[in-house]
Structure 1
C-alpha cells in the first residue's frame, strides 16, 4: 500500500468523555451542527447504553447491540455494574462496531461515551476500545467535559482536578479538558478567583489557603496540600471554557 493510499484510510474524531450531566450529548449535538455548517461530513457514534432520547442524528448506536436497561433487568445489576458489563460486552464484540463504522468512510467521528467516571479512571474496557480504534487507523482526541459549577466550590474543584488528571493518564489519548455550561456559571455562585485561575490551573496554594477558612476543610488541610502537589507535579491539567450556546457559523460564512 502506498503512502497516499494509507493516508486515505485514516479517520479522525473525538472521544467525548466526562462525568454524568457534564453535557456530553449536548456537546455532540452542537459539534455535529458546527461541522455540518462548515461542510464537514460527521458521524456521531453513541457508545452510552443508557442514552435515551438522543437529540443528534446518530450514525451508530450501541443500543442496537446492548442496552443498560436490558442488562439491569436480566442480570439484576445496578447502573454502575450494568455500564461496566455493557462496555465489556462491546469490547468482546468489536467486530460489530468495526462493521458499523466502515459504512462512514470519509467522515469525522464523534464518540459519545458513557458518563460513569470509573470507566475513564480505573476500568480498562473503554481504554481498550480506544486502543482498538487506533489499530483501525482512527486518530482520536479525548474531549473531557467538566461542569463549570465545580469552580464555585474549591473542594469540588480539587476533586475534579484529580479526576481530570487520572483520566488523562488512564485513557492515553491526546487530551483536552473543557469547562462546559459556561453560560450558566453565574447562576452557580460567585467564584473565589478570576476565571483564568481555574482554566490555567494557576498556583493552587491559594486554593488550599482558601479552603483552610472553611471549618470542615480546615481539618483536611494537609491532605488537600498533598493532592495539590500531585496535580502540580504532573503539570498537565488545564481547561478550555465552552459555551455551547455560542452561535454556529451560517452557510454563507462556511462558503467564504
Structure 2
C-alpha cells in the first residue's frame, strides 16, 4: 500500500537585516535565531556584512571579508576604524555585483544579515538604505531588526537616545521594521516585568519626569523637546528578547516573519510516495 505526503515549502527571498549599536547583542541575536531556525527545520543562512568581524559561532555562508576587510583598509589607506568602515561599505556598494552573485544560490532560503555596529550607517549615510533598496530590486523581502541593549532602560537618558536612533533608522531605511530589547534575561534579574512594560511601548512624556530628576534643570527644556519629538513620530515600540526563553525567541521570530509576510507564499512541493506496508 502506498501513501502520499505533501511537503509545504516557502517560496521567495526573505532577509532579516540585523542592526544596532556596537555591543547591543547583534551577534548573539543572530546566533540565537540561527539555532531557532534549525530547530524548526527552516533552511537558514548567515550573511556577514561587518568587515571588522572576528568570530562567528555559525560560519557565514556569505562574508564581506572575502571582498574587503577593515584591517586591510586601515593598514593600506591609513584610515581610522570609523572612516575605514564607511569606506568598506561604500566599496561593497561599488561592487554590488559581488553580493548579487553570492546571493544567487539562495532563492528560497531565509537569510540573516549581521550588519556593522556603526550607527551612522543607518541614520546619517545612505549606504545601508541603498543596500536595502538593491536587495528589494532583487526581489528580497527585507525586514529591519534594530537591536537595543535592555540595560539602557536603567538610564532614561540612554533609553531616549536609543529610541531616537531607532526612529532615525526606521525613517532612513524605509523598510518593514521591528525593534528588539536584547539581554532581557539579564535585566529581569534586576527588575520586575511590570516595571519594564512602560519601556516596551514607551510614553516619553511620562518618562520625561524620570529623566528630569536625574539631570540639571538647564537640560529640562531639551528633555521635553526630545520627548515631544519621540511622541510626535510615535513609531518605536520594542519586543523584549530573552534568549533563555524559547517562547520569547519564537515571538520575536514570528514578529519579523509577519513584517515581511513570510509564510503567506507557501506552496505545496511535489508529493513523496512511500510504502506504508514496508514501514509496518
TM-score, length of structure 2 as denominator length = 0.81
| Offset, 1:190 | 5.3
Residue 146 of structure 1 is aligned with which of 137, 145, 148? 148
Task: State the partner residue of 1:199.
Answer: 200
Task: State the partner residue of 2:54.
Answer: 52
Task: State the partner residue of 1:13.
Answer: 15
Task: State the partner residue of 1:223.
Answer: 222
Task: State the partner residue of 1:32.
Answer: 34
Distance in 2 (CA, whole Å) between partners of 1:186 and 1:35 is 25
Task: State the partner residue of 2:231.
Answer: 232
Q: 1:61-80 to 2 correspondence within 5 Å? A: 61-80=63-82
The answer as to whether partners of 1:12 and 1:139 remain within 8 angstroms in 2 is yes
The answer as to whether partners of 1:152 and 1:190 remain within 8 angstroms in 2 is no
Tell me which structure has the larger Cα radius of gyration.
Answer: 2
* TM-superposition CA deviations, 1:50-102 (whole Å, max 9, x none): 11111113110000000011111111111111110000000001100011111
- Cα distance change on mapping 1:14 and 1:67 into 2, 3 Å: same
* TM-superposition CA deviations, 1:135-188 (whole Å, max 9, x none): 00000100000000100001111111111111110111101000000011156x
Task: State the partner residue of 2:108.
Answer: 106
Distance in 1 (CA, whole Å) between partners of 2:72 and 2:120 is 21
Task: State the partner residue of 1:252.
Answer: none
Is residue 135 of structure 2 the alignment partner of residue 133 of structure 1? yes
The answer as to whether partners of 1:211 and 1:217 remain within 8 angstroms in 2 is no
- For residue 175 of structure 2, give the secondary structure of its aligned residue in structure 1: coil
What value does the CA root-mean-square deviation take over the aligned residues?
A: 1.8
The answer as to whether partners of 1:211 and 1:218 remain within 8 angstroms in 2 is no
Distance in 1 (CA, whole Å) between partners of 2:128 and 2:15 is 16
| Offset, 1:9 | 7.2
Distance in 2 (CA, whole Å) between partners of 1:212 and 1:27 is 33
* TM-superposition CA deviations, 1:181-211 (whole Å, max 9, x none): 0011156x658x8211000112x22221122
Task: State the partner residue of 2:93.
Answer: 91
Runs of 4+ in structure 1 deviating by more than 3 angstroms, as ranges, are none
Task: State the partner residue of 1:212.
Answer: 212
Greater length-normalized contact order (CA 8 Å, ≥ 6 residues apart): 2
Task: State the partner residue of 1:121.
Answer: 123
| Offset, 1:244 | 1.6
Distance in 2 (CA, whole Å) between partners of 1:26 and 1:159 is 22
| Offset, 1:245 | 2.3
Distance in 2 (CA, whole Å) between partners of 1:241 and 1:184 is 12
Unaligned stretches of 5+ residues in structure 2 = 1-9, 251-280
| Offset, 1:39 | 1.2
Count, aligned residues: 238
| Offset, 1:220 | 0.5
Distance in 2 (CA, whole Å) between partners of 1:18 and 1:166 is 12
Unaligned stretches of 5+ residues in structure 1 = 1-7, 250-256
Distance in 2 (CA, whole Å) between partners of 1:22 and 1:186 is 17
Distance in 1 (CA, whole Å) between partners of 2:87 and 2:220 is 38
TM-score, length of structure 1 as denominator length = 0.88
